[in-house]
Amino acid sequence: MTRPAPQDVRTVACVGAGVIGGGWVAHFLARGYAVRAWDPAPDAEARLRRLVDAAWPALEQLGLAPGASPARLTVTGTLEKAVSEAQFVQESAPEKLELKRELLAKLDAATPAGIVIASSTSGYPMTDMQTEAVTPGRLIVGHPFNPPYLIPLVEVVGGERTDASAVEWASRFYELAGKSVITMEREVPGFIANRLQEALWREALHMVANGEATVREIDRSITEGPGLRWAFMGPMLTFALAGGEGGMAHMLDHFGPSLKSPWTRLEAPELDGALYDAVVAGCADASDGRTIADLVAERDQGVIDVLRATGRLPGTGAR
Ligand SMILES: NC(=O)C1=CN([C@@H]2O[C@H](COP(=O)(O)OP(=O)(O)OC[C@H]3O[C@@H](n4cnc5c(N)ncnc54)[C@H](O)[C@@H]3O)[C@@H](O)[C@H]2O)C=CC1
Ligand SMILES: C[N+](C)(C)CC(=O)CC(=O)[O-]
C-alpha cells in the first residue's frame, strides 16, 4: 500500500483533459500541486494549455498556493506515464459507460497500488463502472461542478466494491485541496446536486419544446429570481422563509397540497431535432454576440464576485 496521507500529496494525475479534466488541472495547479495530464486527442495539449491560461487570471484573483504555476503541468504521451508517479488520479473522460469501465480498469492496472482513483462522472454509479478493475476498492466518484477551479462542491461516493477507507481518504484530500465536499454514504441516482439540476433542466426543455418560454426567459427567471437566493441559501431554508414566522411547518400546511398540482412534467421530453435546434438557437440568441470565451470569462468573474460577496473565497493552503 503506497497511499500517502492526504496532506502529503504533491503530484496528481488528470486523465482526460477536456472541459472538466482541464478545469481540474487548473484547480490542482493553482493549489500548488504538480500535475501530470494525459488525453488521447491530438490537439489535447494545446487545448489544455489554452484552458489553463484562460482560467489563470481568475485563479490569481482567488489567491494561488505558494509555488503554484502552470509550469508545473506535464502533459505525457501515455496514460501510464501520467499515473506512474501519481499520488491521486482524477479521471475525466467522456460520459460513456463502457469507456469508463475500460479506462478505470486500465488506470487501476497502471497506477501504483493503493493510490485512490476518482471519476468525474456526472451520474454513473461507481458500482457500474468498477466492474473490470482488479482492485476496485480504491475507485471512487468525485463529481465536480463546472468549472472545477471555481465551484467548490465535490460529491464523493464509492461503489459496492469500494473500500470505505478510499472514500474517507478522498474526502479529506479534496478538502485539503480546497474543495467543499459532500460525502455520500450510499449511491443515489444522479448524486444530490445533479439530481436537483436535472429536474430543473428537464422542465426547462419541456417549456422550450412547447413554446411556453424562451431560452432567454428561462435563464433570466433564475438569475433574476431564485438563483439570487440559492447562492447563499439552499432551496429548503429558502422555502422555510416562505412560511413566514411559521417557518417550514406553515409553508407545508399552506403550499403542500399544491405539490399535487400538475406543474411539472416529470418524464424527460424527447430530444428531437426541433428541440435540439430550438435550444441551440435560443442559446445563440441569449449570448448576444458573446463568444464562448467571453462567456467563460464573464462566468468566472461572476462566481468570484459571488464567493467574495458571501465571504467564501477559499484559503489557498500551503503545499
Ligand atoms: N461538462 C460538465 O459540465 C461536467 C462534466 N462532468 C463529467 O466529466 C467527464 C468529462 O466530461 P467533459 O470534460 O465535459 O467532456 P469533454 O468532451 O470536454 O472532455 C473529454 C476528454 O476526454 C478525452 N478522451 C476521450 N477518450 C478518452 C479516453 N479513452 N481516456 C482518456 N481521455 C479520453 C477527450 O479527448 C476529451 O478531451 C464526464 O464524465 C462528465 O460527465 C462532470 C461535471 C460537469
Ligand atoms: C451538464 N452536467 C450534467 C454534465 C453538469 C454536471 O454534471 C455538473 C455541473 O457542472 O453542473
Protein residues whose CB sits closer than 6 Å to any atom of ligand 1 = 15-21, 39-41, 44, 92-95, 99, 103, 120-122, 143-144, 146
pLDDT grade for 319, boundaries at 50, 70 and 90: very low
This prediction's pTM: 0.94
Atom of ligand 1 nearest to the CA of 119: 39
Q: pLDDT value at position 317?
A: 42
* Mean pLDDT of the region 2-7: 94
Cα–Cα distance, 121 to 157 (Å, whole number): 11
Span between the terminal Cα atoms of the chain, in Å: 23
- 145 C-beta closer than 6 A to ligand 2: yes
Asked if residue 315 has pLDDT above 70, the reply is no
Instruction: Judge contact between 32 and 10, C-beta under 8 A.
Output: no
For the stretch 38-80, pLDDT in tens is 999 999 999 999 999 999 999 999 999 999 999 999 999 999 9
Cα–Cα distance, 116 to 109 (Å, whole number): 12
Asked if residue 1 has pLDDT above 70, the reply is no
Mutate to test the pocket of ligand 2, among 27, 100, 122, 157 (most ligand atoms within 8 A of CB): 122
* Mean pLDDT of the region 79-106: 98
Q: pLDDT value at position 257?
A: 84
Atom of ligand 2 nearest to the CA of 197: 11
In the sheet with 139-143, reading across from the earlier edge strand, the strands are 73-75, 34-38, 11-15, 89-91, 117-119, 139-143, 153-158, 180-183
Query: What are the structural domains of the chain?
Result: 6-183 (3.40.50.720), 193-286 (1.10.1040.10)
Asked if residue 316 has pLDDT above 60, the reply is no
For the stretch 237-247, pLDDT in tens is 998 888 888 88
Q: Angle at the Cα of 190 (from 212 to 284), degrees rounded to 5?
A: 40
For the stretch 140-195, pLDDT in tens is 999 999 999 999 999 999 999 999 999 999 999 999 999 999 999 999 989 999 99
Cα–Cα distance, 104 to 129 (Å, whole number): 7
Q: What is the mean pLDDT of the chain?
A: 93
Instruction: Judge contact between 22 and 39, C-beta under 8 A.
Output: no
Q: pLDDT value at position 288?
A: 92
* Mean pLDDT of the region 100-105: 98
Atom of ligand 1 nearest to the CA of 23: 13
Distance in Å, CA 24 to ligand 2 centroid: 14
**ipTM topping 0.95:** yes
Instruction: Judge contact between 197 and 145, C-beta under 8 A.
Output: no
Single-letter residue type at 292: I
* Mean pLDDT of the region 269-298: 91
Q: pLDDT value at position 318?
A: 34
* Mean pLDDT of the region 128-136: 98
Q: What percent of the chain has pLDDT over 70?
A: 97
Q: pLDDT value at position 292?
A: 92
Nearest C-alpha neighbor of 138 from the set 129, 148, 146, 151: 129
